[in-house]
Amino acid sequence: MSSLPPLRALQVFETVGHCGSISRAAQHLGISVGAVSQHMKILESHLDATLTVKEGQRVRLSAIGERFHARCRTAFEELRAATAELERTKKSATLYVSSLPSILAKWLAPMLYDWNRNHGRAELYLDGTLEDTSEAEGADFRIGYGQGGGNFENRAELFRDCIVPACAPGYIEGSSTVPRPERLLAYPLISIDSRPKFDSPPSWPDWFDDCGGGVPETVPVSLRCSSSSVAVQAAIDGQGIVLAQYAMIAADLKAGKLVIPFHHAMLLPSSYFISWHPNALYKSQCQDFHRWIIARGREQQRAVQDVIARNKHCLQDPEAGLVCDVE
């Protein structure tokens, strides 16, 4: 048999499998129970297969029905995604940006007032996803990190971030800063660990070692988070000191929600990149956004360099441990 079953019958079957009930499927589709049953009979007749099994007042998918439904569900999800993409592309002023969730929420989003003020005619669609589905979803731009900085061939570096310790104001007893980094060990430490899906940013031991005095014997971590946004919020809520990316806390530092208790910044191993669809720059709003975000990336790079320049020199003292002087 080479001909496909009737599309409406397939849609009804996919809904029945999703709802697990003829009556709920009918309600979801806005048709009668009898109409659902009729479409199911048409489909089973066309396929010459029993797709459902009746159990009292309920029906469930048979073994072959479950396998068939899994493929149907995937196909309809693709159709829905394709329809949504088509609707977006029909709007010539739409700008679709895909990004890693944390950099979207903590870096890009706080700057969007500036973009919207000058480019209000463009409808901005933001998609925060860990996996890079930008090409499949028809995105104009993708913001990613390192080698995973986007599947599009066209790409440009935005900035290379650094990590600094941060905590809520007043969290450090008696002062907003400490004289040497090992003093931070007296407080709960928050770590970001996104493995195995992604390489994690430098760890607390890495940071202590980068200060120049070696790694303390023990670096206890009270809270580990897979999401940078969650870890930063935990620090804002007074749960500990987070080792965070500077770009993701710059707005919170400016708003007074966070302070840096010890000024030592450590560069990340790689940079953030923006990539774009080959046809994106044919649209005027994409040209504008491209220029705008590249400029914001350069500004962020200068801010990171300023933070690095404020690093303290740390020397090992047998009596006092890591003793640091401002450069």
pLDDT value, residue 57:
66
Q: What is the mean pLDDT of residues 168-179?
A: 85
Q: What is the mean pLDDT of residues 214-218?
A: 77
* Bigger pLDDT: 245 vs 89: 245
Alpha-carbon distance 252 to 110, whole Å?
A: 10
Selection from 154, 148, 183, 168 nearest residue 270 by Cα: 148
pTM surpassing 0.75? no
Residue 124 bridge partners (DSSP) = 95
From residue 81, give the alpha-carbon distance in Å to each of 35, 133, 140.
Answer: 27, 12, 16
Is the pLDDT at 228 greater than 90? The verdict is: no
Three-state DSSP class for 142?
strand
Q: Give every CB contact of residue 185 below 8 A, 6+ residues apart in sequence.
A: 216, 218, 219, 220
pLDDT value, residue 314:
45
Strand boundaries in 174-299, DSSP class E: 189-192, 223-225, 241-245, 266-267, 272-276
